[in-house]
Amino acid sequence: MGQNGHMRVALVQTAAGLDPAANLDAIQRLVTGVDAELVVLPEAVMHDFGTPTTPLGPVAQAVDGPFVAGLADLAKQQGATFVGGMFEISDDPNRPFNTLVVVGPSGDLLATYRKAHLYDSFGYRESDRLLAGPATPTVVDVGGFTLGLLTCYDLRFPEHSRALVTAGADVLVLPAAWVRGPLKEDHWSTLVRARAIENTTYVAAAAQTGKAYCGRSMLVDPLGVAVAATGDAEGVVSGLIDREHLAASRERNPALRHRRPWPTSVVTEE
């Protein structure tokens, strides 16, 4: 943890292309000189989704492949933990996993998370080209904070975020490639803030931008205030997460302590 219980978080907003090496070069260009202990990259920053018919199996890599090795070099160079999205080889050659990797400042792979909720919505069919991961909360300790990992469409499922908080998360890390469209930008900003407010957590949401995606990366505090945010331009935005502010927010709004178990079936009275 940084001095006085702080950790500086940098959100990288970029438009990934179809060349993983070029994407790594773009990440390096954007993060060089950035002062942060945690760097959050977007979903699919290794290789963009492309068109709805772009095959993703042939471009998938293993988590010990060249893209993660490149991220490890950047993490060591920056002395920071990096979180970012890739397509990971699976047993199905045509459908890889949509995976987040967490690489520490020593270059070690600290955690992986395979996206559980695939974006079969708003006319899109992510499951045609990708496999869903298990519905298992993935958390990892970084700098004295516990990060809970989400990817893009996972944001629309509040039970997923709550499971991460139940597992100990006090920061929800959300790489995304949130597709543009009518009402989509409003959904993004509303839901990012909602997940922060209902769970009294920080949310660090780093999104792709460009023609297909809405950008609007933001770091939201446990009371729903955007302490750092950007529009749709490429770049880096950063802010502090603070242990004392987290504790004070949870004291002011003790909703997590007020949770009650609810039945999974409806009880009717005769």
**pLDDT tens-digit profile of 210-251?**
999 999 999 999 999 999 999 999 999 999 999 999 999 999
Contact 142, 120 (CB under 8 A): no
Instruction: Give the pLDDT of residue 266.
Output: 79
The vertex-211 CA angle with 208 and 214, nearest 5°, equals 45
Instruction: Give the pLDDT of residue 268.
Output: 72
Instruction: Give the pLDDT of residue 129.
Output: 97
Instruction: Give the pLDDT of residue 66.
Output: 98
262 pLDDT exceeds 90?
no
Percent of the chain topping pLDDT 90:
95
Report the CATH superfamily, name and number, of domain 3-252.
Answer: Carbon-nitrogen hydrolase (3.60.110.10)
37-64 mean pLDDT? 97
49-53 mean pLDDT? 95
Residue boundaries of the structural domains of the chain = 3-252
Average per-residue pLDDT for the chain: 96
The amino acid that residue 95 corresponds to is R
Residue 200, C-beta contacts closer than 8 angstroms, at least 6 positions apart: 222, 223, 246, 249, 250, 253, 255, 256
Q: What is the pLDDT of residues 9-30, one digit of tens each?
A: 999 999 999 999 999 999 999 9
Instruction: Give the pLDDT of residue 12.
Output: 98
Instruction: Give the pLDDT of residue 265.
Output: 82
189 pLDDT exceeds 60?
yes
Percent of the chain topping pLDDT 70:
98
250-270 mean pLDDT? 88
131 pLDDT exceeds 90?
yes
HSE (side-chain half, CA atoms, 13 Å) at 52 = 11
Active site residues: 43, 115, 152
**Long-range pairs of 118-127 with CB within 8 A, sequence gap ≥ 24:** 118/153, 119/152, 119/153, 119/179, 121/153, 121/156, 122/179, 122/181, 122/184, 124/52, 124/179, 125/52, 126/98, 126/153, 127/95
Instruction: Give the pLDDT of residue 264.
Output: 83
2 pLDDT exceeds 60?
no
Element (H, E) at 27: helix 20-31
96 pLDDT exceeds 70?
yes
185-206 mean pLDDT? 98
pLDDT band (50, 70, 90) for residue 270? low
Which residue shows structure tokens 């970084």? 142
User: Parallel, antiparallel, or unpaired for β 226-229 and 235-242?
Assistant: unpaired
**Rg of the chain in Å (alpha carbons):** 18
Is the pTM higher than 0.75? The answer reads: yes
Nearest to 151 by CA among 132, 166, 129: 132
102-120 mean pLDDT? 98
